[in-house]
């Protein structure tokens, strides 16, 4: 890297790219060669920047800490509502789990991005309408539209979180940053949950040694409130300390993309020998669609990460082949749902799955075309990310339709 620093000393963009690829190595290499280039203004600038960069854990400002603490307590209070009201746990959590997690996150990013009072009121109003809608939904446990609304409401609230994160409508790069944030968020949340699980086991074990059985109290209070606070704490840590997971997320994307590609190819061959098919087996079709969504998420996350780092030729080919195989999976799922509709008629579930598959297929085709341009060196990976970002509002519209309109079309059945 020392030679690269010499070569690109007068090219700020290339130096920035080298720095982002491996900050630790860049810093060490730069400081080693600095005595030879210290007369250069660019070298002086980078020396100041590198010496000022802090690797220790940061906890933000006092105001931010207070905000996170109060918001976490509010989330914990919402999660405890069934314990001090007559509302049943199954009724409450199936409909309102999203309101434990997302309102505090939306408020956090709205505050961080200094969004105006109009957007605060807009997000608050939409959230309140959503809250009333889902809780006034007729309580029929066998209702397919109720299940669909509860599931898609989580995606709808997630889209509101995206709007609060982006701040400005149509900001493509910020949309990709939001996708990257979701990857970092999952990594950080997992680490916190693992640490929390270990702490829980130790705490209960220590108290049991001295004769106190605190399991019920601990789980009903500490664990419930702690779980409600995890999303906001994880978000806070990723925003104040991006270096904590900035290296982990790309590694996960690079490892899982080829693994998923091999798994998918083997799985498609295994389907023909298993006797299972999504055309006549409803449960298998549901799992098949869940697999499709999961793989698509991996592709989008990998592309979002790729726009922030330099991808090798092999990794670009893996993403392209993975998208091609995923299109094949989507085509099978789409043909299966069309077969079931033509044979047994339309239902809320079939309509929801049909629309989702159509939009996913269109998006995947557009992304695959761009990825083909990348592997043939006719375009770059940033254009692929832009294609993903542009299509995100389509999912928001469809999610809103399934959540709020579909139940009326099928009379809440």
- Average pLDDT for consecutive 10-residue bins of the chain (413 residues)? 70 76 70 75 76 61 89 95 91 95 95 89 95 93 92 95 82 81 89 93 92 90 93 91 71 80 86 78 80 83 69 81 91 91 92 93 92 85 83 93 95 88
DSSP line for 328-345: HHHHHHHHHHHHHHHHH-
Q: What is the pLDDT of residue 53?
A: 55
Q: What is the pLDDT of residue 169?
A: 61
Residue 345's region, left for phi above 0, alpha for psi from -120 to 50, else beta, is: left
Residue that is written with structure tokens 């697999």 in the block = 291
| φ/ψ (deg, to 5) at 378 | -100, -15
Q: What is the pLDDT of residue 347?
A: 92
Q: What is the pLDDT of residue 56?
A: 57
Q: What is the pLDDT of residue 51?
A: 64
| φ/ψ (deg, to 5) at 311 | -95, 140
Burial class of residue 90 in the structure, from the number of CB atoms within 10 Å of its CB (0-12 exposed, 13-18 middle, 19+ buried): exposed
Residue 195 near residue 225, CB atoms below 8 Å: no
Q: What is the pLDDT of residue 225?
A: 93
Length of the chain: 413
Rounded Cα gap, residues 408 and 402, in angstroms: 10
Q: What is the pLDDT of residue 69?
A: 94
**Residue 77 in tokens:** 């209070």
Alpha-carbon radius of gyration of the chain? 24
């Amino acid at each position: 890297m020392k030679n690269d620093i010499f070569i690109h000393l007068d090219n700020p963009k290339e130096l920035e790219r080298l720095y982002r690829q491996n900050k630790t190595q860049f810093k060490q290499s730069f400081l080693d060669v600095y005595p030879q280039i210290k007369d250069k203004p660019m070298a002086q600038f980078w020396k100041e920047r590198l010496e000022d960069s802090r690797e220790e854990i940061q906890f933000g400002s006092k105001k931010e800490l207070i905000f996170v603490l109060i918001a976490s307590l509010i989330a914990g209070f919402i999660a405890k509502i069934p314990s001090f009201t007559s509302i049943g746990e199954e009724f409450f959590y199936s409909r309102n789990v999203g309101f434990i997690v997302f309102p505090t996150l939306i408020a956090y990013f709205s505050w961080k991005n200094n969004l105006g009072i109009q957007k605060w009121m807009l997000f608050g109003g939409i959230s309140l309408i959503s809250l009333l809608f889902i809780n006034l939904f007729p309580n029929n446990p066998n209702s397919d539209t109720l299940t669909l609304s509860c599931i898609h409401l989580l995606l709808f609230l997630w889209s509101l979180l995206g709007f609060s994160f982006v701040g400005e409508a149509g900001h493509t790069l910020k949309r990709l940053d939001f996708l990257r944030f979701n990857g970092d968020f999952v990594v950080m949340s997992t680490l916190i949950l693992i640490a929390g699980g270990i702490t829980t086991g130790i705490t209960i074990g220590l108290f049991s040694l001295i004769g106190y059985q605190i399991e019920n109290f601990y789980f009903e209070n500490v664990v419930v409130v702690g779980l409600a606070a995890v999303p906001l704490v994880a978000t806070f840590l990723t925003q104040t300390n991006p270096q904590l997971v900035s290296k982990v997320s790309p590694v996960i994307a690079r490892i899982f993309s080829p693994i998923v590609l091999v798994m998918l190819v083997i799985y498609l061959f295994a389907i023909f020998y298993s006797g299972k098919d999504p055309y006549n087996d409803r449960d298998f079709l549901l799992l098949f669609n869940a697999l499709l969504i999961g793989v698509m998420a991996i592709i989008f996350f990998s592309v979002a990460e790729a726009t922030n780092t330099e991808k090798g030729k092999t990794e670009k080919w893996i993403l392209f082949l993975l998208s091609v195989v995923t299109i094949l999976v989507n085509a099978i799922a789409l043909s299966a749902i069309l077969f079931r509709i033509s044979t047994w008629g339309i239902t809320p579930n079939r309509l929801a799955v049909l629309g989702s598959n159509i939009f996913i297929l269109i998006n995947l085709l557009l992304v695959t075309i761009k990825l083909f341009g990348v592997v043939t060196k006719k375009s770059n990976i940033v254009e692929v990310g832009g294609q993903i970002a542009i299509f995100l509002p389509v999912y928001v519209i469809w999610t809103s339709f399934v959540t709020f309109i579909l139940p009326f079309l099928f009379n809440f059945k």
